[in-house]
Structure 1
Amino acid sequence: MSREALEVRRMQEEDLDAAAAIEQALFSKPWSRESLAGAIKMQGNLYLSAFWDGQLAGYCGMWRSFEEGNITNVAVAEPFRRRGIAVGMLTRLMEMAGKEGVSRFFLEVRAGNQPALRLYEGLGFSSIGMRKNFYECPAEDAVIMEKTLLQF
Structure 2
Amino acid sequence: MPSASVIVRRLKSGDVPLFRKLNILFGEAFAEPDTYGAEPPSDAYLEGLLAKEHVCVLVALIGGEVVGGLVAYELDKFERARREVYIYDLAVSEPHRRQGIATALIGHLREIAARRGAWVIYVQADYGDDPAIALYEKLGTREEVLHFDIPVETGQD
Matches within 5 A, 1:67-106: 67-106=83-122
- In angstroms, what is the RMSD of aligned CA positions? 2.3
Q: Structure 1: how far apart are the matches of 2:97 and 2:29? A: 12
> Partner of 2:25 in structure 1?
22
The secondary structure found in structure 2 opposite 1:130 is coil
> Partner of 1:55 in structure 2?
65
> Partner of 1:127 in structure 2?
142
Scaled by the length of structure 2, the TM-score of the pair is 0.74
Which of structures 1 and 2 has the bigger CA Rg?
2
The 8 Å contact of residues 57 and 80 in structure 1, kept in 2 or not, is answered as: yes
> Partner of 1:146 in structure 2?
none
Scaled by the length of structure 1, the TM-score of the pair is 0.76
Q: Structure 2: how far apart are the matches of 1:132 and 1:24? A: 22
Query: Which structure has greater strand proportion?
Result: 1
Q: Give unpaired runs (5+ residues) of structure 2.
A: 77-82, 150-157
Between the aligned residues of both structures, percent identity stands at 25
Q: Structure 1: how far apart are the matches of 2:49 and 2:97? A: 24
The alignment of Structure 1 onto Structure 2 pairs a total of residues equal to 133
Q: Structure 2: how far apart are the matches of 1:23 and 1:2? A: 20
Per-residue CA deviations over 1:90-140 (Å, capped at 9, x if unaligned) read 1111111111111111111101111111111111x2122222577xxxxxx
